Amino acid sequence: MSLADWNNLRQRRGGRDLVALLGAPGTAALYARDAFAGIVASFVTLAHCLSFSALIFAGQLSAGLPMALWGFMLATAVVTLMSAGRTTLAPLLAGPRNPAVAVMAVLAATVSAAAFEKGLSATEAAHHVLVGLAIASALTGALIWALGAFRLGQAVRFVPYPVIGGFLAASGLLLILGGLQVGTGSALSWGSLAEVSSASIAARLAVTVAFAAILLRLRRSPLGAQALPAVIVGGVVVIELALWLFAGNGAAGWHLAMTGGAQGWSPLASLGGVDWQILGAAAVEIVSIAGVSTAALLLDVSSLEVQRKAQADMDAEFRTSGAANLAVVAIGGLSVGHALNPSRLIDALGGQGRLAGLAGGLFVGLLLFSGFDLASLVPRPVLGGLLIFLGVGVVVEALKVPGRSSLPELALTLLIMAAIVGLGYLTGIVLGMVGACLLFAARYSRIGVIRRHVTRAEFAAPVERSPELARLLAEQGRRIHVFWLTGFLFFGSSNGLYENIRQATASRGLFGRRWVVLDCSGVTGIDASAVLSFQKLAHWAAASDVVLVIAAANPSLVAELTAAGLFGGAATGRSFVTRNEALEWAEDELARAAGGSSTPGVPDVATWLARELGEDASRRLIAGYLEQRELEAGEIVCALGAQADTIELVASGSVAVIVPGLGGRPIRVRRMTGGTVVGEMGFFRRLPRAASVVAEERTIVYVLTRGTYERLLAEDPQLCAAFLQFVVRALSDRVDAANREITALL
């Protein structure tokens, strides 16, 4: 097996084969590269764990920082180890979710404020915050696991972009503000920096901003993520050296007030003495953590898909991440997920296999249980600058809207972001969903539900009529309008539908009754506002001598419109199963209105043929060569597959051209009325019948057999030529009508 084949195999194999996978043929260098990439990338995850712990448990809540660090590091190690062998996006590292941590900080502020109002100490307030975070972590794990277990992971992709973008942008902004607070050690207001009063705080602020600027500049550097661990370590070394050389006793406040490293804790053992009213005040934030974590997981998975040009199994990712998070909650683990930047760093360092994630998770776990005091080595400005760097990254990604057509979404995203930061997550959620719905309605209503509009002059029913009747319908055809409707009829488009139909069917010089055929085969549903618009349309139609005809509507739509009074009783509206039936009925009604009959101008066969061939030729043809045949309704004129040895001239009544559909169900594709020719194509092509022809009512036809035609050709060539010209004209009229109908549908 080649090295390339081995790499491909390692990417494809699942976690259940992990032991066999690691034992497959390979090289020590390959394993070493994966392990090195995973361990180096885990340094970034460790920095995230420490920065986020400091953000949540800042100021008076600092007593909870060791437990928060334990929770993030423990969950990072366990979730990474559980996910490394099962993820469809290997290699993978887990870690705190940037946006979710911002909401955790809001939760901490809400809970601590309620605790202090009740006179609790700072330690007791921190205890309540930890329990609230544990509840939020359990809810997050359960939600994410349920989405994957019930195969709803893909459904999360359909959450409107402005809602996700607004949540993430607000979280990023909160991370930036939190970074300023962590970096300075002072509770700075996001609206003002007036609290920067001392030289020490000002210096820490300047160094924090400078370090964040260096990290942001690094994003545009060719080195990118590869240099991130080195820059973090370098920042620690440079700041510590500067403090040693210049600050002396003035170094106080530049580090977190923590010693002894991470401290283990158990939420179950901490439930005693909890004031549930205090946690109830943060219920919105607890639920928001679950929602934002789900959105963050979706975006992280999507980003890794693009980065690695791979397709992830969203349900599998949700199941694995959710189960792993649930597994660590009872022992103090806090919610973590796919760590996007550390996972990208593994790629940049050449890591390709699942071993990279395993090595990173093991390293975090070993460091956690070693008792190493990580916080004592990292100055505040490094932690604050890292938070600002991460926050800016979240905001930039959330507001990265391609194309000018997306400017409304960008505006809504900014509005949701401002609402969340200024008014809270609940307000932002409500505003976001309402705004997204209104934006969708405005956008969708501009599309329009009328897919196509033609008149009978361009598009006819599949009925072949006598030349006189066809000419009349062509002249009066603009009195019949056909509209193809599509999509969901709702409040955003229903009034426009009414106005478009009213304007399109204006008389424009044609007087008398008009017909509007609405093909609803593409309509998926209707809301109450659209029903009201249909009632308005029906009232206008009744007052304007317009007949409203609904065709191909699903049963629920027909029931809605019937209940609204459009059909039945005194209503003039009509409903048909197919558009062809509706259009055929409207043509018959127009023919009666214009000529007093559904077949105006259709004479007896002698008069008809006299117009086409001349009186003498018509008389000779009928007397010497045509055989009259009377048919009852349902009688077969010619059968599918039979030998085509006759031509039928339909003198009166009508016949249907029928072909078999799916499952053998007969489909009427055309209707032929008096004054038309049937069977000529198969006759002259000497092919079996391509369809059956059946009488629809009492019908009279005149039949020309093949033997009689050959006799006609031998005995009276001039009459035969006139008959052939008559047939060619009939075929030409059909081709012309078909061309016009095709043009109307393009």
Query: How far is Cα of residue 233 from the mean position of the Cα atoms in its chain?
Result: 43
Burial class (CB within 10 angstroms; exposed 0-12, middle 13-18, buried 19+) of 170: buried
Sequence letter at residue 318: F
Give residue 16's pLDDT: 39
Q: Are strands 646-652 and 636-638 parallel, antiparallel or unpaired?
A: unpaired
Sign of the Cα torsion 392, 395, 400, 404 reads negative
Count of alpha carbons within 13 angstroms of residue 325, beta-carbon side: 34
Give residue 2's pLDDT: 41
Give the domains, in start order, of the chain with CATH numbers. 3-438 (no CATH), 450-595 (3.30.750.24), 605-745 (2.60.120.10)
* Residue among 249, 229, 316 at smallest CA distance from 40: 229
* Residue among 229, 258, 359, 311 at smallest CA distance from 53: 258
Give residue 445's pLDDT: 63
Sequence letter at residue 591: A
Burial class (CB within 10 angstroms; exposed 0-12, middle 13-18, buried 19+) of 217: exposed
Alpha-carbon separation of residue 468 from 473, 536, 617, 623 (angstroms)? 9, 37, 20, 24
Do the beta carbons of residue 409 and residue 162 sit within 8 Å?
yes
Structure tokens at 93: 């590292």
Structure tokens at 687: 């092919």
3-state secondary structure of 489: strand
Do the beta carbons of residue 632 and residue 655 sit within 8 Å?
no
Task: Answer left, alpha or beta for residue 167, where phi above 0 means left and psi between -120 and 50 means alpha.
Answer: alpha
Do the beta carbons of residue 497 and residue 508 sit within 8 Å?
no
Give residue 647's pLDDT: 93
Dist CA 335 CA 403 (whole Å): 35
Dist CA 727 CA 708 (whole Å): 16
Give residue 188's pLDDT: 57
Q: Where are the beta strands (DSSP E) in 460-513?
A: 463-464, 480-489
Residue for token pair 């659209």? 530
Give residue 323's pLDDT: 93
Which parts of 118-227 fold into alpha helices (H)?
Answer: 122-149, 161-184, 199-219
Give residue 425's pLDDT: 63
pLDDT along the chain (746 residues), means of 10: 43 41 56 85 84 86 90 94 87 86 89 92 92 94 92 68 75 80 69 55 87 84 72 86 74 67 85 87 88 81 74 88 92 90 77 88 90 77 83 80 64 82 72 75 70 86 82 86 87 78 75 88 85 86 88 87 77 84 89 64 74 89 91 91 92 89 82 88 90 92 93 92 91 82 70
> In what helix (H) or strand (E) does residue 550 lie, and over which residues does it extend?
strand 546-551
What secondary structure does DSSP assign to 272-287, as a single string?
TT--HHHHHTTHHHHH
Sequence letter at residue 463: V
